[in-house]
């Protein structure tokens, strides 16, 4: 099934992004009834399923309020535009800040790396023991830095505990440089991270040297005795 997700609507109206393919398994009865519902709505089956999923967001409760003092329940349809962003790093932070209970185990590890590294520090402070976020600073100051650091963070996370610890320490050590002149200094996050150890070239096997016998000394010519030029017959 191909689904299309609309981008956040601005003054110019909605705009469709590229579709993503999702495979859905249904039993025979559900498939048949879905086809009937699609006919009633004059939609294709895939279009109807996409519409039905979108409608279900109105029933997915993310927060249950008590209904008093403006403490209202929050449904997925109420915050879908606040959670979505085309950039994966910003999308991740938007979810982690608002609904950390929805993070997977791997996402929780990445979130801990980010919070421990102090990369998010310009946009957060403690009030009455609770962390409070400044969304304007998140969007204007932190997100431009995070976009540049995201690839290195993912690589460090994949590298295991030691690589994660090095990434956090290197980022902490350069926080002053990173935010010294705003987002312009964000390249320090990547340039100052520990680089992987260079791979040494394989050592060549020792070359065996075969000792050669010394060349024979040249034979010196015998000095002429003066008799070589004489005839064999000696007259008397």
Whole-number pLDDT of residue 64? 92
| Segments of the chain scoring below 50 in pLDDT | 1-15, 182-194, 196-199, 209, 227, 230, 232-236
């150890």: which residue's tokens?
197
Residue 153, judged by CB atoms within 10 A of its CB (0-12, 13-18, 19+), counts as buried
Whole-number pLDDT of residue 217? 62
Number of H helices, E strands in the chain: 10, 7
- 62 and 161 both lie in a single domain: no
Nearest one of 162, 96, 103, 100 to 123, comparing CA atoms = 96
- 190 and 89 both lie in a single domain: yes
SS3 62: strand
**Total domains present in the chain:** 2
- 139 and 59 both lie in a single domain: no
Whether 158 is in a domain gets the answer yes
Whether 221 is in a domain gets the answer no
Nearest one of 158, 70, 153 to 117, comparing CA atoms = 153
Contact of 118 with 125, CB cutoff 8 Å: no
- Report yes or no on whether pTM surpasses 0.95: no
Q: How big is the chain, counted in residues? A: 236
SS3 71: coil
Whole-number pLDDT of residue 113? 97
Whole-number pLDDT of residue 129? 85
- 66 and 100 both lie in a single domain: no
Q: Which domain holds residue 46?
A: 1-78
Q: How far is CA 2 from CA 17, 35, 44, 86, in A?
A: 12, 16, 11, 18
Whole-number pLDDT of residue 189? 45
Whether 2 is in a domain gets the answer yes
Whole-number pLDDT of residue 204? 57
- 185 and 94 both lie in a single domain: yes
């Amino acid at each position: 099934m191909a689904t299309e997700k609309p981008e956040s609507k601005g003054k110019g109206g909605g705009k469709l992004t590229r579709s993503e393919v999702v495979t859905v398994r249904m039993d025979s009865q559900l498939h048949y009834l879905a086809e009937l519902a699609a006919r009633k709505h004059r939609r294709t089956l895939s279009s109807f399923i996409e519409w039905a999923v979108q409608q279900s967001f109105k029933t997915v409760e993310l927060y249950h309020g008590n209904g008093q003092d403006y403490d209202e329940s929050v449904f997925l349809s109420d915050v879908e535009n606040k959670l979505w962003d085309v950039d994966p790093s910003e999308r991740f932070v938007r979810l982690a800040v608002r609904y950390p209970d929805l993070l997977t185990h791997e996402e929780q590890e990445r979130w801990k790396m980010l919070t421990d590294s102090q990369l998010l520090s310009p946009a957060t402070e403690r009030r009455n023991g609770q962390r409070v976020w400044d969304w304007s600073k998140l969007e204007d100051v932190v997100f431009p830095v995070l976009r540049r650091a995201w690839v290195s963070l993912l690589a460090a996370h994949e590298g295991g505990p030691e690589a994660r610890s090095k990434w956090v320490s290197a980022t902490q050590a350069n926080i002053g440089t990173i935010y010294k002149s705003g987002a312009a200094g964000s390249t320090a996050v990547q340039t100052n991270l520990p680089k992987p150890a260079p791979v040494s070239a394989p050592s060549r096997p020792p070359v065996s040297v075969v000792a050669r016998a010394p060349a024979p000394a040249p034979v010196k010519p015998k000095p002429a005795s003066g008799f070589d030029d004489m005839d064999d017959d000696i007259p008397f």
